[in-house]
Structures are given as C-alpha cells and as structure tokens.
Amino acid sequence: MGELSSEWAAAENAVALLIPVALPLLAGGVVLLLRHHPRARESASVLVGVALGAVVLSLWPMVDEEVRLDLWTWLPGISLSLALEPLGLLFASVAAVLWPLTTVFSVGYMRSTRQENLTRFYFLFALAIAAAMWVALSANLVTLFIGYEVLTFATWPLVSHQGDPAGRRGGRTYLVLLLVTSMGLLLPAIVWTGLLAGTTEFQAGGLLADRAGPGVLAVLFALYLFGIGKAALMPFHGWLPAAMVAPTPVSALLHAVAVVKAGVFVVLKVSLYVFGLETLAVGDATTVMRWVAAATLLVAGVLALRSDNLKRRLAYSTVSQLAYVVLGATLANDVAFAGGALHMVTHAVGKITLFFCAGAIFVACRKSRVSELDGLGRAMPWTFAAFTVAALSIVGLPPGGGMWSKWLLLLGATEADQAALVAVLLAGSLLSLGYLMPIVARAFFRPLPAGPVHGEAPLSVVVPPVVTAAACLGLFVGAEFVIAPVINVVDAP
C-alpha cells in the first residue's frame, strides 16, 4: 500500500486510525482460520470486539488534535484518507462498543436457533463492522463512499442468511434499493460536489460554502439525503422492513446500529462538513427535505402502530426515529444538530436493546408477534424490564437518555421557530408511545396464557439487553459528556 504520511499529528498517532479498521478484519481472518472450532471462533471474535471497543474509546483524548492519515492516492486527485473528528468518533464508539455485546448475544441466539453457515456469518459481521469504522473515520467523500458500499455488500448475505425464498427476496430488495440510491443518487452527488468544490475533503464550515447557488444546494442536498438510502428516508425506506428476515442479531446490530446509523451519520457529516450549517441555514435549501423527513417520521410511526410482527414494528419505529436525526440536520442550527447527533446514540442503544429483547423472546418461546406476548413479563422479568427502559428512552421519557436528544431537537425546532415541526416531533413521540408501551402493558398486565411454562432465555441472550438498558439509564445521566465534543465542533467555526 502507499506510503503513510500525516500532516498534523505524529505518525504513530495517525497509524492509530488504522487499528479500528484493522481489528475487525483481523477478527474476520481469525474466524475463517478457526472455522472448524466453533467455540474458539466465537470467543475470538468477542475478544477482538472488546479490544476494538477499548481502542476506539481510547481515541477520545486525541479527538481534537485533527489526527489525519493519508493512506494512498487512489485515483488521480483522490487520496484515501482517514481523519479523526468528534462526530465520526461518536458513531465509531457506538458501533464498536455494541459489537462485542452483540457477538455475545448472537453466540447464544444462533446456537439456540440452530443456524448454519456461522463462519460466514461471523466473518461478514466483522467485515461490516470494519466498513462501519472506515465510514466513521473517513476524511473525504470518496473514502466514505467506499466504506458505505462495502457495508452494503457485506450485510447483504447476512440479510439473506437463512437462505429460504423469503430471505433471498428480502436480500434482493435490500441490495437493489441501497445500490440504486447510492449509485444512482449519492455517487453523482459526490462527483458533482467534487466538480463544484474541486475536492471532496471534509472541511469544517462546509466544502460548498459560497461555492454554489441556493438552487444547486437544494438539489444537491436532496440528492444526498435520498442517495443515502441507509438513512431510510421515505420513499427509500423499504429495505429496512425487508431486512427483518435476517436473524435477530443482524437486525440488532446492523439495522439498529451499524447500517442505519451509518446512514444518518453520513447525513449529519455531509450537512456539517460538506454544506456547513450556516450555508444550509440561509435560504431554504433544506425546506423540502425537512418536510420529507417530517412526513417519514409520522407515516413510519403510523405503520409501526399497525404492524403486529414485533421486529417489523421495531423496524418501522427505526425508520421513524431515523427521521428525527435527519430532521435535526435539516433544521441546521447547532442545538438541533447536537440533538440529532445525540439521538443517533440514544436511539442506537435503545433500539438494540429492544431487538435483543425481541431475540430473547424468540429464543425463549419462539414468539414473534406482539399479540402473542401476553403475560410474558412475568415469565421473563429481566428481558421485559430491559425492554421497558429502552422503550421509555426511545419514546423520550425519563429515565431514558432519549429524553435529552428529543429535548434538544425540540429546542432546535423552536429556535428555528418551526412551530409545525415542534408539533410533528411531539406527535412522533406520542406515536412511539403508542406502538411501544402496549407491548410493555401486555407483557406485564395481561395474564400468561396456559401453555408450556418457560423462564428466561439463556444467559448469553439475556445479559446483553440488560447491559444496554443500563446504558440507556447511563445516557440519561451522562448525556452532556457524550454531546459536549459534538457541540464544540458545531460551534467551532
């Protein structure tokens, strides 16, 4: 590979940026090597996962040193480079910390549901995480795009993992929708940006600041937001429910954290470093997309309300919650933006908990429909306790971290004096209340139907949701530590 050089920071710091990407790849290699020793294979990936989490968190101290690592000049005028900045590191941390947990969970889940091709499963899982890290740390649009596409291709086989016709169909929808948006809209947008700005390097204050008229900006912004299909903005959200055919761990990490958060993360990153909040604030470049996001938020909420399959309901809830983040970006003021960033975190933690619980329920009693959950709260207290906390956080009620993110978003909306959007946000929360709380109610207050008695799922399946639920509470306390660095960046220029 090309020579390693770095402009601002000492080389050894810079090389540190490679580790988060390298570690999961290493894990993947180990998995392939150990394919005949399941236990070794799984414990290896857990260990590497923990290591990754540690490494990524250890990067926080140097987050403001503008560490940058130019890997090599890939195409004329385009170098593949990684750079450290708070927003990216925030996303990286979320994915990295939740990965080992998910691995623990999936060990129990895949075992007790007797899945096959586990080597392929763990390998692609690691690959996906590596891609997510790459996206989080990429320093320019092209580098980012590469990671984005690799993420798509790495997760496609995971979606179709079961291999039954339904799984294959889901996989097709997933792949085609994500590729059509990324190749058809995102890539042209990137090329266009490159032609306008002469570079695709992210810049504080925005690449396109006073480089394009409002009309062009509006079009570009639309191209980006629709092109980033992983943000599941309607009408390009269809892949997310389709992806629910995947085993629950996949839905948990990828379709609550890595993939979808990669989507909204790119949205935030683009609006901050490509457009620049100032540029977006003036004129009405974002008006249209703002309303698209609002519509997505509400419609998805209603759809979630109307779907009985638990995972499907969670999927639509994700679509709706992602719209919050996008909305934060489109409001284009620092408060709302911080709210979006924070929501990226709180929703990740909350939603992965919910998926974990869904998985735990499925493992314990093979139930996947909301209407079947009556009374399970007593059979599986831990699971449903976790579920409740996470649900509160998603809805935005104390003691869930989600409260702060939604609070900030509301503030942002008022600051941009968008009364209508305030209403939308509140309505969204009400909807989430409507589609999450009934589950809790059923589980705890309905009688358990007569049938085979069963307790909690295996430990490895129950512990992760409890941990993440605890994290939700933690976020309620420590939200400002999480968001402080982001606020700094936003206010910096």
Partner 1 sequence: MTAELPALQVVIPLLCAPLCLLFRSRTAAWLMFLLAALASLGCAVLMAGQVAGGDMLRYEMGGWEPPVGIEYVIAGFNVPLLLLVSTIAVVVAVYGRRSLESEISSSRIPLLYACLCLNLTGLLGIVSTGDVFNAFVFLEIASLSSYALIAMGKGRRALLAAFQYLVIGTVGAVFILIGVGLTYAVTGSLNMADLAARLPDAYGNRALTAGAVFVFVGFAVKMAVFPLHGWLPDAYAEAPSAVSTFLAATGTKVAIYAFMRFAFTVFGAALVFERLPLDRIGLSLASLAMLVGAAAACFQTDLKYLLAWSSVAHVGYIVAGYSLATVDGVQASYLHLINHAVIKGSLFAAAGILMLRLGSVRLEALSGLGRTMPWTFGAIAVAGLGLVGVPLTAGFVSKWALATALIDEGQGLVLAAMLVSSLLAVVYTGRIIEIGWFREPSGSTAAAGTTPVSMGVATWALVLASLYFGVDPRLPASLADAAASALLGPGGG
Number of residues that bind partner 1 (CB under 8 A): 30
Closest distance to partner 1 from the beta carbon of 168 (Å): 5
Binding of partner 1 at residue 229 (CB under 8 A)?
A: no
- Per CB under 8 A, the list member of 146, 379, 385, 467 interacting with partner 1 is 146
Q: How far apart are CA 87 and CA 451, in angstroms?
A: 49
| Residues 101 to 120 in contact with partner 1, rule: CB under 8 A | 117, 120
What mask of x and - would describe binding to partner 1 in positions 1 to 20, judged by CB under 8 A? xx------------------
Task: Kindly indicate which of the ranges 143-151, 229-237, 261-269, 292-300 contains the residues binding partner 1, using the contact rule CB under 8 A.
Answer: 143-151
Residue 188 or residue 235: which is nearer to partner 1 going by CB?
A: 188
Return the number of the residue (224 or 337) whose C-beta is nearest partner 1. 224
DSSP 3-state of 233: coil
**100-104, long-range: CB within 8 Å, 24+ apart, which pairs?**
100/46, 100/49, 100/50, 100/52, 100/53, 101/352, 101/464, 101/467, 101/468, 102/249, 102/252, 102/253, 102/352, 102/464, 103/42, 103/45, 103/46, 103/49, 104/46, 104/460, 104/463, 104/464
CB of 351 to partner 1, least distance (A): 27
Residue type, 322: L
- Please identify, using beta-carbon distances, which residue of 195 and 450 lies nearer to partner 1: 195
> What spatial distance separates the first Cα and last Cα of the chain, rounded to whole Å?
35
Judged by beta carbon, residue 118 or residue 395, the one nearer partner 1 is: 118
Q: Which of 6, 160, 271, 388 binds partner 1 (CB under 8 A)?
A: 160
Which position has the token pair 């290493």? 26
Using CB under 8 A, which of 184, 381, 458, 474 touches partner 1?
Answer: 184
Closest approach, Cβ 399 to partner 1, in A, equals 43
Of 22, 55, 180, 441, the one binding partner 1 (CB under 8 A) is 180
Q: Which of 179, 234, 305, 441 binds partner 1 (CB under 8 A)?
A: 179
Q: Which range touches partner 1 (CB under 8 A), out of 5-13, 166-174, 200-208, 467-475? A: 166-174
169-177, 201-209, 359-367, 475-483 -> range binding partner 1 (CB under 8 A): 169-177
Q: What is the DSSP letter of 285?
A: T
The residues, any chain, with a CB within 8 Å of residue 326's CB and separated by 6 or more, are: 225, 231, 233, 264, 267, 289, 293, 296, 340
Residue 264 has a CB neighbour count (10 Å cut-off) of 29
| Binds partner 1 (CB under 8 A): choice among 18, 111, 113, 167 | 167
| Beta carbon nearer to partner 1, 215 or 455 | 215
Nearest approach in angstroms of CB 227 to partner 1 is 12
User: Interhelix angle for 18-33 vs 118-137, to 10°?
Assistant: 170
User: By CB under 8 A, is residue 238 in contact with partner 1?
Assistant: no
Among 50, 55, 150, 305, binds partner 1 (CB under 8 A): 150
Q: Counting contacts by CB under 8 A, is residue 171 touching partner 1?
A: yes
Binding pattern for the stretch 187-226 against partner 1, x by CB under 8 A and - elsewhere: xx--x---x-------------------------------
| CB nearer to partner 1: pick between 179 and 427 | 179
Residue 229 falls in which region: left (phi positive, over 0), alpha (psi -120 to 50) or beta:
alpha
Distance separating alpha carbons of residues 446 and 436, to the nearest angstrom: 15
Smallest Cα–Cα separation from 248: which of 111, 126, 340, 370?
A: 111
Residues with Cβ within 8 Å of residue 206, at least 6 apart in sequence: 272, 273, 274, 275, 276, 277, 278, 279
**Smallest distance, partner 1 to C-beta of residue 179, A:** 5
DSSP string, 87-107: HHHHHHHHHHHHHHHHHHHHH
| Distance from C-alpha of 297 to C-alpha of 292, rounded to nearest angstrom | 9
Q: Which of 10, 11, 166, 183 binds partner 1 (CB under 8 A)?
A: 183
The kind and range of the H/E element at 79 are strand 78-83
Whether the CB-CB separation of 286 and 382 falls below 8 Å is answered with: no
The string of DSSP codes covering 162-184 is T-SHHHHHHHHHHHHHHHHHIII
Q: How far apart are CA 80 and CA 143, in angstroms?
A: 5
- Among positions 86, 157, 229, 359, the unique one binding partner 1 when judged by CB under 8 A: 157
**Residue list 63-102, contact with partner 1 (CB under 8 A):** 72, 74-76
Q: Which is nearer to partner 1, 60 or 192 (CB)?
A: 192
Contact footprint for partner 1 (CB under 8 A): 1-2, 72, 74-76, 117, 120, 145-146, 149-150, 153, 157, 160, 163, 167-168, 171-172, 175-176, 179-180, 183-184, 187-188, 191, 195
